[in-house]
């Protein structure tokens, strides 16, 4: 689940569905990562990194690990040298696509000087 134990420490203070959803995908780069995987279907690590201008290895890797642990993205690696690792959405992740597209479109409709992708 990749989340703090304390979040459920009081069973009488459970979170609503939207808070739960955001606990899984609410980190700064997670939704951008998911949107790009939704858009390109499958990406190599460095491709993904290039699309997400500004993210560092540390952050991107942590982000992908958590999403993988939560079964939202799938990591595929052959053991070759040099390594080739791809990321794609799981079925669970694919269920987010409509919402991701909605967020993207909203941003796209209203941003002024951000780039298209």
List residues binding a copy of itself (CB under 8 A).
Answer: 8, 11, 13-22, 24, 26, 28, 31-32, 35-36, 51-54, 92, 95-96, 98-100, 102-111, 113-117
- 76 contacts 89 by C-beta, under 8 angstroms: no
Residue (27 or 103) nearer to DNA, CB: 27
Please, what is the minimum distance in Å from the beta carbon of residue 90 to a copy of itself? 11
Residue (84 or 108) nearer to a copy of itself, CB: 108
Q: How far is 26 from 107, CA to CA, in rounded Å?
A: 16
Residue (75 or 111) nearer to DNA, CB: 75
């Amino acid at each position: 689940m990749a989340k703090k134990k304390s979040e459920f420490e009081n069973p009488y203070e459970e979170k609503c569905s939207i808070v739960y959803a955001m606990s899984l995908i609410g980190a700064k780069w997670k939704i951008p990562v998911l949107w790009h995987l939704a858009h390109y279907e499958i990406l190599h690590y460095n491709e993904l990194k290039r699309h997400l201008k500004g993210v560092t290895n540390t952050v991107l890797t942590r982000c992908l690990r958590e999403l993988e642990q939560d079964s939202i993205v799938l990591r595929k690696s052959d053991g070759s040298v040099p390594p080739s690792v791809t990321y794609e959405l799981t079925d669970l992740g694919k269920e987010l696509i409509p919402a991701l597209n909605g967020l993207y479109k909203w941003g796209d409709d209203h941003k002024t000087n951000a780039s298209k992708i």
